[in-house]
Structure 1
């Protein structure tokens, strides 16, 4: 069958077409599913790129979602020989729209094949932005927790949260934020985030984590950050375990992404009870 790409302007129409395809692997597809829910709710992301990959019979074989300036998120269930066709179709569609792709985020094998097809077509180069692993948790193990407690930040913590957001974006290799962008993000998170928590010890915040990007049954833990002076003291474990326990009161499972080049964080999450689901790649196009 011949694959064709269809661009959608109506999020509700796109949602109806691709959500049943994505939800079959809910934990693995937590990123595109969470993005779809955020876009559909109108809470974030203006002018997203929404594209489906379909067979001639109308069956969905893939989906692309991009929220500029971030990388293009892709989920593809196609044969190896179809990646070149997808790359050609995608290039034609994006060229017509005047859209540049900064990179891809996808399941690892699919990301490698799509990147190879794309760079062969475009004559471009690429680099690995992050070698990732997706984890899933449905219960929290009993672990040793340092003294302290979970708190939700408020206006008193605005400057601190803004600084931590800036440091987090630098350390994780995503697009660095300016001071004003980080401050704006911190203001929004304090005002609108229900699942943003600090671990506080001796009256001082020492680590943070956030729950976001919900799906039908799950929610993603992200923005896990501990400043260097407070690392290796168990604070990250404490905030992630505490937040995960709270999230499991409302959701059946939690998911998170890790950087495979950071064995410490991967061990922390597995000790808490997170189980590997699949590997993912963030690829930057040069």
Structure 2
């Protein structure tokens, strides 16, 4: 796609996720938990590419190299919903600033940046400076990895895989998850910037075994937990959703614990993101044995002509 060489780190923008993985796969695999979003995103795009699915917005993959050509950072822009945020993993400060300048130079508008701190803050600050905008924090998030699983207090019921007939319920609960998450973190419902898969994508995920329900002793579905397919030996858990009337009964703890146990039994490391403004979910995951790995953030660049929550 393009490469921007400079005295320090230089940037290589690639259009094909396969080319990106060939260039940066070793770097991603060296820190597979930190790399989970970009690695999962690239592998998912390869799967979508094979069946002819094209993202509606920008679609590129970033490799950051040092002067010797060694990969020292990565990123991507392949989100399927506006404002099509960038996602950056750890990289040198000058590279993060360079990403903003590269996009500005080629006229590519970017109104949101997600990923690792401080890279996303530096990139967003430069985007705002170049465009006359202001950086606002949408969400402060944190990546956690499960170390040793601490079993929660057992509750009645069992974990069952979602099937095609569950598509409508999975869709409804996935949408409820993002709006309820805002409310639980003290934001207006729907105020946050979220990427919601459409029903076609959710059906593909159900067919590949990525969603489970916790069912109570009567067999009623009371909770939903998802997990991405492993990339470089790491699977990211989410969404984790319990309807309001079913909360406080231990369904989420037991479902996440069982999904995590199955992942670890298969030799896969488990990780997940939390919203730092949601003390309940942070407390639940800490009790299960999840430990902080990296602070991340979702930032937006607001301008007077844009209404940004």
The TM-score with structure 2 as length reference comes to 0.81
Question: Which residue of the other structure, out of 163, 174, 180, is the alignment partner of 2:172?
Answer: 163
Counterpart of 1:58 in structure 2 is 69
Counterpart of 1:279 in structure 2 is 295
Cα displacement (A) at 1:91: 2.1
1:89 and 1:207 map into 2 onto residues whose CA distance is 44
Deviates more, 1:214-223 or 1:66-75: 66-75
Cα displacement (A) at 1:251: 3.0
Counterpart of 2:114 in structure 1 is 105
Unaligned residue ranges in structure 1 (runs of 5+): none
Question: Which residue of the other structure, out of 88, 98, 102, is the alignment partner of 2:101?
Answer: 88
2:177 and 2:88 map into 1 onto residues whose CA distance is 24
Q: Does residue 77 of the first structure (1) align with residue 88 of the second (2)? A: no
User: RMSD value over aligned CA atoms?
Assistant: 2.3
Question: Which residue of the other structure, out of 193, 205, 209, is the alignment partner of 1:194?
Answer: 209
Cα displacement (A) at 1:84: 3.6
Q: Does residue 31 of the first structure (1) align with residue 37 of the second (2)? A: yes
Tell whether the 8 Å contact from 2:138 to 2:299 is kept in structure 1 after alignment.
yes
Counterpart of 1:13 in structure 2 is 19
Tell whether the 8 Å contact from 2:113 to 2:298 is kept in structure 1 after alignment.
yes
1:182 and 1:85 map into 2 onto residues whose CA distance is 33
2:100 counterpart SS class: helix
Cα displacement (A) at 1:75: 1.9
2:48 and 2:169 map into 1 onto residues whose CA distance is 28
2:12 and 2:195 map into 1 onto residues whose CA distance is 32
CA spacing shift, 1:37–1:109, aligned 2, 3 Å: same
Tell whether the 8 Å contact from 2:9 to 2:92 is kept in structure 1 after alignment.
no
1:101 counterpart SS class: coil
2:48 and 2:195 map into 1 onto residues whose CA distance is 24
What are the superposed Cα offsets for residues 13-45 of structure 1, whole Å, 9 maximum, x if unpaired?
Answer: 221222222332221121111112222344786
Question: Which residue of the other structure, out of 259, 274, 280, is the alignment partner of 2:275?
Answer: 259
Cα displacement (A) at 1:138: 4.0
1:158 and 1:164 map into 2 onto residues whose CA distance is 10
Deviates more, 1:137-146 or 1:229-238: 137-146
Counterpart of 2:256 in structure 1 is 240
Tell whether the 8 Å contact from 1:219 to 1:255 is kept in structure 2 after alignment.
yes
What are the superposed Cα offsets for residues 83-120 of structure 1, whole Å, 9 maximum, x if unpaired?
Answer: 44342123224x2xxx4323111212222222212211
The TM-score with structure 1 as length reference comes to 0.87
